Structures are given as C-alpha cells and as structure tokens.
Structure 1
C-alpha cells in the first residue's frame, strides 16, 4: 500500500474563523467549567473558570489590542511558559483579527530577534519581566511602528490588565466587526520550526487548517475529549500540538489545567485527576523506571520483572481483541494480571491521578513494548504523528483500534502517501500551503503533497509505521545504507539514556554516542554507591565509568540483537551533555544531530582509532 486516506467527519460550513469555536461554545454552555487555574504555585488551590468568564476576558484583552493600535492581520508574539494567560492572549489576538506568533520561552535573544523581525511583530506578550525585556529589545530593532511588550506577571508594570484598561472605549460592535474579518483561508499563526536539521522556517497556518483539525479530531476522539473529561497541559503552548489540543478541548467542553513546570505534574495529578494526558515518550519511560526503582528498593526486582512481562502479555491480548481476533481463555494470565494489578498496576494508575483513561504520546517514537506495558496496566497509549506543517496530528491510533508499533491511520480529512524513496508525504485539511519565506517552499512539495522528511511505510490496514528521518540515513564506506531509528529507540528505552546517536557516515562500521539522562544517572550512581559528576559547561564530555559502561553494554547488545549485522553498533562512547542548551536541544527536546556530531567530533574520531 502506497497511499491511505480517511474521509472527513466534520464540515467546516458555518465557521468563518477560529474564534467561532469559542463563540459557539460560550453560547451553548456558558457556565461550564472550561479551565482550572492555580494560585501562586502548583500546590495552591485550583480555581474554576467558566466558558463565559474566559470569553469575557478574551474579549476585554482583544479590545486592549485594538485600542493600542493592532490592525487586522498584524502579528502579535507570545513568549511565555504554559499558563492560563497564554490561552487568553492567544484567543484575544484572534478576536482582534491579529496573527499569533508563538516564541518558546527558552529562546535565545538572537532567536527572538530573528522571529520578531521576520514575522513583522507589532506587539508582544511575555510571561515574565525577563521575557518582556527580550521582546522589547527585539521590537526596538524593527523599522515598523510597534506597540510594546506586555507582561502576564501581575507584580510588574505594563501588565495585561493595564492593556485591558486601554480598551474600555472600544465597543462590542467594533470588536465583533474585527473578529469577523478573518476568513478560513487567512493566516492564523506563524510558527517557527525548531530547526533540528537546518535554519528555522516560518510555517503559516490558516484558520482553515486549525478548524479542520479541531473539528475532525474532536469527532474522531469524542470518547476521550468531551464535557465529562479533563486534562493537564504541560507541553509548551508555543508548540502547535499543545495549542491544537487546547482548542479541541475548548470546543468540546473538556476542562483544562495548565502547568508551566513539567516536574510538578506528578504532584498535581492526585488533585486534578485528569481523564486524559498528552506526553512525550520520555515521560512514560520515567514513570516505568520510577516504578522499577521503587520495586528494587523493596527488594522486589524479580517480582517487578514478572509484572512487566505479564503487562506486556495482557497488552498483546487486548490488541488482538481490538483487531477482532479470537482469543482463547488463559486463566493463568488472568490470575497473574489480577495479582500484579493489586500489587503494582493500581498504584501506577493512582500516581497518574486514578482516572486517566487514555494517554496520547507524540513528539518522538514510542517503543512498542512501552505502549504494550501501559495498555497492560490499564492505561492505553494512543500514539500519533504529525508536524508543525500539518497543524500537529497527521495520523493517530484510535480508541479500540490501537496497534503498538504504528502511529495509526491518517486522521479524518487527511491523506498519507509513501514515495518511491520511502518518504512520508501528506495532504489534507491540516496541511499548510507554504512557508512565510517562499524560498523555503522549494523542494517541500511534490504533486500537491508536503514532503515530511520522514521515512515510513503503510501496513495492510493503512496505518503508518515510521522508520526514521530521511536526513539521518547513514551510508557506510561499504556502501550500506542504514536507518538508525530502530537501534537508537531500542537503546533509549534504557532510563539512563536520554538520547542515542548512531554514527558511521563514510566509516567502515557503526558507532554511537549515548547521551546520559542526568537525573536517572545520578539515581543509578547513588544506588551503586558511586559518583558520576554531571556536566557543568556547554560541551559534550565523555564519561569513563566501568560499571556504567557495563550496564549500558547490555542495552547496546539488546539493540544489536534487533537489527541486521550490518546495522549493529560495534563501539560506543558514554557522554554527558547540557540538555538545557537550546543550541544542542530543541524546545521540544529533540537532539540536533549535526550539532552533537560537531561538538563531539574528537570523541567520534576516537571511536575509529
């Protein structure tokens, strides 16, 4: 199969632009709780915000934007951690007829300057006074008239309430006229890609892109996203996936809580008790690793290993049932699952709040066994796949039709095609029309399809199986073409490995750099009674600890057993890197392979001496 399509489930008729989603929801359920907002910190009490309250705040801020001079089509930048005010500013900009330009809160001054200049930003909203300082400095370098940077920090000057006060004389009729100006084909946002393989590009997404995705995905996942559910968003709202999720929840009545610090998520789950979570695979790996560590501390490692194998078997059984296969009764498995549910699984579900029905995993490849494990403990993981250029999800597994190891079929209104070279191509309602700079469009489209740059195949059911990045392919001196993804993903399943980077371009054999997870490595070292100093400078430093290498050798051997001899890694180096360095790691925690290889050039060369 070289092409798979899913027909749309929702019509866009009757919607002029994104703001109609909030208008319709506010009219249908004004008193329904749309958000939960915390106090000064994540442990403070959470206050409900109704759809009516949210709508009123959005309209008031939109009037402030208009009063300050924002015209239809003007870009407004938002640079802040994930928080409720981000949602208000986002929708308010659209109500004012503006185009939203999200900026990751961790962006460097040079990145902020480049985005502000390229997008032609006229006004900016920052989360803190530090963000505002960066934004003000960038705005001052532009030639156009600008209207300042305003902060979400209530203790500072130039706050959003101050901006709201400017708009008291803007009438409801003026606001409504402005809100209705944008059509489905007008730009809604310009999202700058994080640039793992090249310079960032401004992705122009239209109101039609968002409306098509929101309405169709909400229809496909109604079992999960509905008025009875709630979620916690802790992914960066500068990322299109988090913003898309927010719009889907808002339009569907699903309650949202925001967390700016992902490390506080576990502490709040018992209070918020979400029914649905969106995570990156690393979060799931850490949950599983924490459970294993706790079992080890109680001298139950052997019991835990049996619990994991039982969960995997149960997960496979559930997937066969989903596929409509006949399953014979297995009383032994049932009894083991019941026993381990009481001993381990139920406690893991409680850690996640006790009500999570599904988890959506995206942003990186999810190991099939990890997916099966969570399915086996009673929390199915829905893996999906998408890019900024596809307005987030392009494909996704569906409730009751989850196939671990795949990222599912195309979502409603979308088509996936596999080129002769194995590249994943995309077309449909969420796929953008082009970059802000037309020069970036060159080579990005073929026959009306967007070239994702990812390699993949379609299984007989039309589900996409990802097989790596086109630009990451390695050609050895023996002429062997290697796709490193499967090997790297297998090694990254070890909690100590944050990133695995296979190398070997033009070399006689394959090697690898194993980038350590500082937190997990520290915990491991403590348990081993040893000390491994973490990296304290923006470089890549080799770690030569015999016990650590012996531990990771097992992960390498296991990964080698999964691939052909020509794809096996002969030598590896263990390294620490500064994973907070945005020159090395993107805001979505993807490693910039070219930067790694450049900084670790000496270490790589040593692997071939």
Structure 2
C-alpha cells in the first residue's frame, strides 16, 4: 500500500504535559504581548495581555477550580463563543489537572445533555446565562453530583468569583496538581461534528497536543514567530482553533479572538494579522464579495481578467517557472486595480493563510497566491489533533493537502481510504467499540478517500461513507462534482444523490445572501425559509442560471458520474443539526429532511 512518513523534528519527552508550553514561554519572554483582548471601548478597542499576566489569570482560575472541588482527572465543560476567557479557562483546567470538554456555543440542549452525560462532566464554564442554562439542565439531567456552572460574563457565579475562591490554595499544591498529568494522560474529550453519524467522544492526550504544537511550530517557522499575530474566529470548541492557539502561544505569536462574523473584516484592518486560519468557505466569500463589487462598479470583465492573471501567476510559480513578461505586466496592472485593495481589506500584512476543515478548490488557492497571499492547505481531523498533512511555505501545490507533517505517517488502503499513524493520533473514543472499529493494523481509519501524488503529497478524493453505488453497480465519489458546483457563489452546498437509483441527481442548497442579491438584480421574489424546513425553489431563471454550473461540473466527470437532474432548496444553514460549526453539511440530516424533494427528482 502507498505510504509516506515524515520524521519528527522535535523530541518532546522533556515536556511534562501541555502546561509546560506556557511555562516555558513565560520563562523565555514573560513581558511579550500574548493576546489582544477586546475592550468594548471604541477609542481603545484592544488591550495587550502579556504572557506573564495571562499565566497569572490561568493560575488564579486553576486554584479556584481546585478550591471548588475539581479533582485531577475530572471533566470540565467549556461552552462559549471564541473569546479570550476561553483561552484562560482552557489552560486553567489543565493547570488544575483536569480534562477539558469543549461544547460548541451553538449546540442544542439535547446535544449538550448528551456530551455532559457521556463525558461525566463535574463542573461547567459558560459564556453567559443562555449557555449556563443549557449546561445546568444537562448536569441536572445527568443525575450525578456536580459542582455547578460558572460564567465568563459578570454575575454571582462568574470567573472572578471562581478565581477568588482559590485565594487560599497554596502555590506548591497547584504545582503538584499542574504536573500530575503526564504526556499520556487524557487532556481533552472532543466530540466529533457528526457529518455522517452521531458524534463520538475522542480522547486526546497531552502527548497529542505537545507533539503537534512543537512539530508544527518547527515546520512553520516562517509563519509562527514573535513578530507575528493572528485573529482566531473559528470556534475554540474545534480542535483546529485550539491547536492553533497553542502553537501561537508557545511560539510567541500574538492572538486576538473575534466571535461575531460581522466584526471579522473590521478587526483585520485594526489588528493587521500576519497569519490567519480559515475554512474554505471564508475564502469563497472574500472572492465572491470582490466579484460582486466589481460587477456593481461595471468592472466585472476586468475582475475576471484579474482572476485569470492571478491564477496563471500561481500556476507558473507552482511549476517552478519564471512568469513571462506579459504576465508580469498584467499582474502589475491588476495589483494596482484589485490585489492591493484586497490585501489591505485583509489587514495589509498577511503573509499566509492556512485553510483547513474541508477541501479547497485548486483555482481558489491559486487566486489568493496570485494576489500575494499564499494559502497553505492542510488536512486533519479531530482524531488526529487537527493537522495531519500540510503544504509548506515555499512548497505549495494547489489541489493537494501536502505531505504528512513531522511525526506522522499516511498510508492509502487498497480501498483508497487514508490511514494515519503518528504523534497526533488520539488514544481512542469513549466507547471501546467505536475505538475498535476506528483502527486497522495500528493505523487510524480516517474515513476519507485519497491518494498520494507522484511527490508523496496527499490528494483528497471524498468521504468513504459518501460514496454512491447506483442501481447498475456504478460506484461514484461525489466530491469532485460537488466541489466544482460549489464554486458558484449562489450554492452553499451541493449534495449528489443516487444511492440505489438508476441515475444521479443533486440537491443544491442555496446561499441566502448571495441568492437574494442575485434575485434582486433580476427583479425576482423568492420563497422564504420557514424554520427547519426544506423549501424547494422552482424559479425558472434561477434554475437556468445554475444549470450552467451543473453542466460545467458534468463536463469534468465521466458520463456515468454526471448529474441528470437537480433541485434547488433553501434551508436554515445556522441549524447545528444540519451544518457543522466548520460549515460542512451533514448529508444524512439533509437527505432525511429532503425526502419529498429527492423523490421528485426520480419521477
């Protein structure tokens, strides 16, 4: 079976556990600004917090947790949007020797209850009263002794009160507790997003985090450095965001948190990050917004030329070629017209963007590289403690997710499944039966399909469980077709269907904002979304418009893999039972809700 291994760059055996990352950073540079924290003051919206001050907040809260009754190995849930207090609570739980259980801020009461019960949560930390109510109800439903819920927002049971409870806890006792866990102790229980089934509790160890942090930092020295800063707006309940936070914290890279999507663009102009981590949909929206603005100012044709030029520029660089004189002239022109403005909108200092959490269209990657902001695409899962593979600065190949990262091995099974082994691979699920199913010959079964290219880079080809077998026995991997249709800004998600059917069809889930803008320009009125329902859209002009994207996608695959019919639907894309926090569609949930629409495609 094809296999590729990258040797580790760093020996981590001299680390006790994750808390060592912060302790060493404080010893190196205690006064360096570790965080920019939102103040709510328009005149001074951000205040710096040094590494030493952050440590003080962490240790005070850890003592409070201990004084309140949290024991070594206990589970502590954190349910909040991305914010500085999340970072304090995360490390404080580890300093107290406990295990962090992240809960997405958008989780439904039933989801919260299931996590709290399965992880045997003893104490919970919430953003505010809304999250606290869900956590209290979940703790009460679990019918086990617990230590209550504390909030990040001011109140009777807030984090200041919790920290104050630990005033009498001795420093020596805290140090004993901080060092009690070793590298192979559980650090966190992260519940998978469940795109293809029910969430499972993945147990990640301190070794997983320390190994990933130290090796990723060593591989990406050009990206992670003391002179850099980043803005984290992905949910901190997601392992990718938490891993990024630890990498930056250990490497001295300043961190700011933004939870509200509406505030992200403004924060980039203020904070001027050198590095960002995004999901592909964010890059799609930036491109789509630029295209819409160009069209609105009658510069659409020029923008399309700028896109073509940027893509050609990146293609030449990837091939190791020197761009031709005409290409250099065109790029200089379009840099003045478009590229420079886009870079400024993203803060003007971005050296790199890391894209993860889903497959990135190769041409979209080349577009950003061509405008001067290279995108490093990576790949990983909760069970691999975020990154498993990644392109490297100066060695980016669009359409791939790069080589295995240091300390990792990737193998491709005879069925085309990506198998993984290495420092980031989790210790197992909470349910031993799930763990037994997840490993093969010592390798973790990712459930993703892929291959190694001629240089050993990983190329993603879809999800194993998403494979469709038609009634005539044809096996189809839908990702390539779906990804191409999703390049149309009106399509939030394309989902191919056809299991056991005589031909393939598709549901195109429309982006409400983009489709609404298109409809307004066409003087059309579309149906409104109603709650959790699936609303079919039968507007002929919209169907004709999207037929072009379907035809283009069909032209890229064989006839037996092409879609014969499709339906357009609106639904609530904020529903966490339908869409994951990283904006991936839960196919099974969508198909369950779309039964009548799917049946109509086969009449």
Q: What range is the shorter-chain TM-score in? A: over 0.9
1:13 Cα deviation after fit: 2.5
After TM superposition, list the pairs within 5 Å mapping 1:82-481 onto structure 2: 82-154=82-154, 156-321=155-320, 327=321, 330-481=324-475
CA distance in 2, matches of 1:581, 1:329: 46
1:44 Cα deviation after fit: 5.8
1:144 Cα deviation after fit: 3.3
CA distance in 1, matches of 2:405, 2:420: 11
SS at match of 2:198: coil
Aligned residues: 603
User: Please, which moves more after superposition, 233-242 or 328-337?
Assistant: 328-337
1:328 Cα deviation after fit: 5.2
CA distance in 2, matches of 1:80, 1:201: 20
Which residue is 2:29 aligned to? 29
User: Please, which moves more after superposition, 591-600 or 140-149?
Assistant: 140-149
Cα distance, 1:6–1:41 mapped onto 2, change above 3 Å: farther
Which residue is 2:56 aligned to? 56
User: Please, which moves more after superposition, 543-552 or 272-281?
Assistant: 543-552
CA distance in 2, matches of 1:10, 1:528: 58
CA distance in 1, matches of 2:442, 2:466: 25
1:186 Cα deviation after fit: 0.3
SS at match of 2:343: helix
Which residue is 1:324 aligned to? none
CA distance in 1, matches of 2:333, 2:396: 25
CA distance in 2, matches of 1:237, 1:179: 22
CA distance in 1, matches of 2:443, 2:344: 44
- From 553, 556, 560, give the equivalent of 2:550: 556
1:557 Cα deviation after fit: 1.0
CA distance in 2, matches of 1:532, 1:42: 39
SS at match of 2:202: strand
TM-score, length basis structure 1: 0.98
CA distance in 2, matches of 1:413, 1:538: 44
For the Cα contact (< 8 Å) 1:42–1:264, is it kept in 2? Answer: no
CA distance in 2, matches of 1:598, 1:94: 40
1:70 Cα deviation after fit: 0.6
CA distance in 2, matches of 1:486, 1:518: 23
1:143 Cα deviation after fit: 3.9
Cα distance, 1:243–1:328 mapped onto 2, change above 3 Å: closer
Q: Answer yes or no: is 1:496 the counterpart of 2:490.
A: yes
Alignment RMSD (CA, Å) = 1.1
Q: Deviations over 1:5-24 (max 9, x none)?
A: 10000110320000000000
Structure 2 unmatched runs, 5+: none
1:442 Cα deviation after fit: 2.7
Which residue is 1:66 aligned to? 66
SS at match of 1:162: helix
Q: Deviations over 1:220-259 (max 9, x none)?
A: 0010011010000000000000000000000000000001
SS at match of 1:122: strand
1:308 Cα deviation after fit: 0.8
